[in-house]
Structure 1
Amino acid sequence: MEEQVIRLQRSEWRFDPNAPLGRRGGFGAVYAGHDAAGGAVAVKKLHINNEAAGHREMEMAAVLATRTLRNVMPILDWGSDADGGGYFLVMPRAEGSLQGRLNGGALPESEAVAVLMDIARGLSEVHDIVHRDLKPDNVLRYEGKWVVADFGIAKFVEDSTSLRTLRDFLSGHYAAPEQWRLEAPTKATDIYALGCIGIALLTGLPPFAGQDDLQRCHLQQTPPSVSASPALRQMLAACLRKPTGARPSLSSLIEQLERAQAKVLLHDPIIAAGAIVAERALASDAHAARQRAAEEARVELAHAGDSILEELRERIFSEIIGASPMAHREDDASIALGEGVLSIESRFQLIPAGKFESSAWDVVAGWVVKVTQSSNKSYRERSANLWYADPSRSGSYRWFEAGHWRLGHGPVHSQPFALVHNSQLRDADLALSKSMHSMDVTPRPPRPIDGEGEEWFIGRWKKWLAEAATSSMRYPSHLPER
């Protein structure tokens, strides 16, 4: 393929599509090019087209092109090719990338601190712009120093690509927790990426290298510890905090790096203690994030279980009304026929993990099913708990029926009943367990009522409603039932 000619805002440039410089990135690919006089440049072609971008000007490039910056790669030209279309950036040809330097392994601490200082100064020079995609591939060696490249490209692509989310472009090893949550990036986002780069400089690999689920790692896991001075460990731990507000400002970061460069107070016991405290805070962040994720997943699981029972309740009530015009809904949770009322309603909306310790059941939510007969004074109601649970901890949750009854008493105390207060969850747990207790469950063992158990469940409670309608529901002949 011949050289391609592009005409941008300032001039005409040529590049060779068969001569890439470095690895293809998430936002574009860089090629060897030159100006009209033959001077070497780097041409970056972005992964968006004119139609998707709506012919917008690349505002960030335009802004940077007017500034004199020491640790930010200069922009020579930018925009859409006037003839062939497509969006491009033209920059000076760099001597290499930080990723290329890392391919040779970890850096000594003194060199790592110098690199981090150059990057931090670059971020500070453009304090009004968030990079959003800071990584070793975007840190280049130019004129004897490290400079940050591709400022604002992530924002440009995000604004101009309506059919794709920014998550499609994330550089997973360096993406901050808020980016995985698709929240608006801030300067703290770049600080997190700088912390990830620091880990890579000292170990040769970014945090969570080799992990399949990078999103879970950045949201919930503690980054690996590094062998470094207490001052540098403390700084990196602060950069990698999960909450954005807990990360240091750029000015604080630069001051800490200056101290590290000058080796000031490196052996101060306060700094050593501070490093330990910072790393413990980092571990605490990860633990809190895992807890929040588990709680959110549990809430979603409980909602899913509730929807199953709501559908089952509607099926039962529809069958009853379809079978008898005399039946009528009293409210969403109950239906009446003659002297009988059948109700199925949520009672325990979300049960914390670990509440059913003795039985080892993981119970997420609880409902109560009940039939009452108003004119029978000797036997007024039969009720049972419905638990959304995973009895074997297999990861599969089902609805189970468990009516309770007291051992060693006459029939008046042996009618199956439901537990309805949070203070009774301990009794529910013991009744389900194999331990000796004054209370047992019926049926024994509890049977699933969803899926293949639906017909069994519906048939029994329709039968008891029919009996209650004429005040003829009686005590069970034996307990526990099967």
Structure 2
Amino acid sequence: MQWEFDSARPLGRGGFGRVYEARGPIGDAAAKVVPKARGGDREQLVVSGLPASRNIVPVQHVEETDDSWVLFMPRAEYSLRDRMAQPVPTAEAVKILQDIAQALSEVSSIVVHRDLKPENILFINGSWALCDFGIARYVEATTAPDTLKDSMTPYYAAPEQWLFERATPATDVYAFGVIAYELLSGQRPFTGARDEIREGHLAGVPPLLTGSRKLAWLVNECLLKAPEARPSAANLTGRLAAVGSDVSSPAARALGEAQSALLLERAAAEAAAAAARTEAQRRAGLFAAANAGYEAIVADLVEFVCDGAPDTQVAHPNGTTVLSLGGAELRIARLEAVSPSAGDYDVVAASSVTVVTRGASRGHSLFYADFDELRHFGWFEMGFMQGMGADFAHEPRALSGPDGLQVLTSRTIGGGQLGWGMRPLDPGSLEDFIQRWAQWLGMAAQGKFPRMSTLPDGRTVYPRSRGW
């Protein structure tokens, strides 16, 4: 009998293709049809290099069509997801985990699965076996263009996957920990919307499992945020074999409780450190984006002014760009990072633009922040007034990032208020911004200081706030 499959009888789908009922020379089978697309031949290549094992679903036969690969495999009785539809006794759960751990230990030196989950663990011939290496990656393949770092199942994805970092065998150990937690407690450690799941994996610490202390400790270690802190796949098998030897004497219970408290404390400290690293990485990425936009703003403004007035002198003292024309100066300050603070807004970076002539000045602040929409960042321009202590020779003026943020939060700083703005800035469409500041510099160079025409001036709409 030849290998064949029935496309009208689907069994499910994997990382890259659909699975159908199939038949072969040795009886019932399953056929996974993988389209020939980016990374589409990955599973054939990976599985062909894996060891023969009762805990790894083998590829028995491969065929090729014009647009697909067809991988024939043994047909499973059911998946771990199917089994988990009913409560699983601890003894059976340990046996399942032992089979999974054995498979991971056998492949960890060859490949990283990267999508380990109950749907990809099948019961075949009396054992639990790993399948679907559709997004697996050879351990040393760090530069392949199709590494598919964004392919993951959120509930089981390790912190490094959420950060789009290189996956290692420890990534599979983390997913093993999530599966173990769900198998033993009946619930996943982190749930909710995608952002909540991400936050849990990056900085959350689930409660320690009840029951066997050694098993709870092992799962706790698998879920540590730092990959290097997790046990190895080989270490899992030996420790799972010992989970039934918990001692019930008073001394052992006291020591076990102390150990549990230390493990939770360690996990919390490690999660806090991971959260700090993650936040620092997030802000570093946002600042890089802000700087790229800011460089475009500065370059376009300088080019326009110098084209319109070739006698303009350009200098860069201490990172500030200074355009000098006829006794007036246009000062574009260096971009500065703003430290995170509590409140309604997240300001990542700040700078200012100021025109100065004959003892008078007009300045506006530039902020890279989420003023209009939570966690949606862009550039904004605004000017401030000093309220009761107004100095009309220098109004409106720019304020530093923290001071400007305080005005926006409380609407006051020494009587200060928003005097001009706020106006979004699009680095790709700066005509209004460039024309306005070039005109003000030209006026200042002629002794015509560009004071505010009204009080207040410009668009004086405060940004969104929870309380307003």
Q: TM-score, normalised by structure 2?
A: 0.73
C-alpha distance in structure 1 between counterparts of 2:136 and 2:119, whole Å? 14
User: Is the Cα contact below 8 Å between 1:361 and 1:393 reproduced in 2?
Assistant: no
Letter in 2 for 1:273: A
Query: For residues 230-267 of structure 1, what are the alpha-carbon distances to aligned partners after superposition, in whole Å with 9 as ceiling and x for unaligned?
Result: 33222112111222111112343233322322334695
2:255 corresponds to which of 238, 254, 270: 270
User: Is the Cα contact below 8 Å between 1:99 and 1:136 reproduced in 2?
Assistant: yes
User: Is the Cα contact below 8 Å between 2:57 and 2:129 reproduced in 1?
Assistant: no
Query: For residues 308-351 of structure 1, what are the alpha-carbon distances to aligned partners after superposition, in whole Å with 9 as ceiling and x for unaligned?
Result: 5555545544554454444344458222222222121225x210
User: Is the Cα contact below 8 Å between 1:339 and 1:469 reproduced in 2?
Assistant: yes
2:361 corresponds to which of 366, 378, 382: 382
User: Is the Cα contact below 8 Å between 1:5 and 1:15 reproduced in 2?
Assistant: no
1:465 corresponds to which of 441, 446, 449: 441
C-alpha distance in structure 2 between counterparts of 1:56 and 1:253, whole Å? 25
C-alpha distance in structure 1 between counterparts of 2:37 and 2:73, whole Å? 17
C-alpha distance in structure 2 between counterparts of 1:445 and 1:82, whole Å? 68
Q: Which residue of structure 1 aligns with residue 421 of structure 2?
A: 447
Letter in 2 for 1:350: A
User: Is the Cα contact below 8 Å between 1:419 and 1:425 reproduced in 2?
Assistant: no
Q: Which runs of 5+ in 1 are unaligned?
A: 7-13
Give runs of aligned pairs for residues 20-99 of structure 1, distance below 5 A. 20=10, 22-36=11-25, 39-49=26-36, 58=45, 60-61=47-48, 63-65=50-52, 69=53, 71-73=54-56, 75=58, 77-80=60-63, 86-91=69-74, 93-99=75-81
Q: TM-score, normalised by structure 1?
A: 0.72
User: Is the Cα contact below 8 Å between 1:30 and 1:42 reproduced in 2?
Assistant: no
Shift, 1:191, TM fit: 0.9
Query: For residues 256-297 of structure 1, what are the alpha-carbon distances to aligned partners after superposition, in whole Å with 9 as ceiling and x for unaligned?
Result: 322322334695333333334334444445544444444444
Give runs of aligned pairs for residues 60-459 of structure 1, distance below 5 A. 60-61=47-48, 63-65=50-52, 69=53, 71-73=54-56, 75=58, 77-80=60-63, 86-91=69-74, 93-103=75-85, 105-132=86-113, 133-150=115-132, 154-155=136-137, 166-167=148-149, 169-209=151-191, 211-213=193-195, 216-217=198-199, 219-222=201-204, 224-225=206-207, 226-264=209-247, 268-306=253-291, 310-314=295-299, 316-330=301-315, 333-347=321-335, 349-354=336-341, 362-373=346-357, 379=359, 382=361, 384=363, 386-388=365-367, 394-395=373-374, 398-402=379-383, 415=394, 433-434=410-411, 437=414, 440=416, 444-450=418-424
C-alpha distance in structure 2 between counterparts of 1:152 and 1:320, whole Å? 56
Query: For residues 109-165 of structure 1, what are the alpha-carbon distances to aligned partners after superposition, in whole Å with 9 as ceiling and x for unaligned?
Result: 232122212221232244423351322233333443433345687348x98xx8865
**Equivalent pairs, count:** 442
User: Is the Cα contact below 8 Å between 2:333 and 2:352 reproduced in 1?
Assistant: yes
Shift, 1:72, TM fit: 1.7
Q: Which runs of 5+ in 2 are unaligned?
A: 458-468
Letter in 1 for 2:55: V
User: Is the Cα contact below 8 Å between 2:17 and 2:34 reproduced in 1?
Assistant: yes
2:2 corresponds to which of 5, 28, 39: 5
User: Is the Cα contact below 8 Å between 1:16 and 1:33 reproduced in 2?
Assistant: yes
| Residues 62 and 416 of structure 1: CA distance in aligned 2, closer, same or farther (over 3 Å) | closer
Percentage of matched positions with identical amino acids: 28
C-alpha distance in structure 2 between counterparts of 1:44 and 1:86, whole Å? 10
Aligned Cα RMSD in Å? Answer: 4.6
Question: Which stretch shifts more, 46-55 or 277-286?
Answer: 46-55
Larger radius of gyration: 1
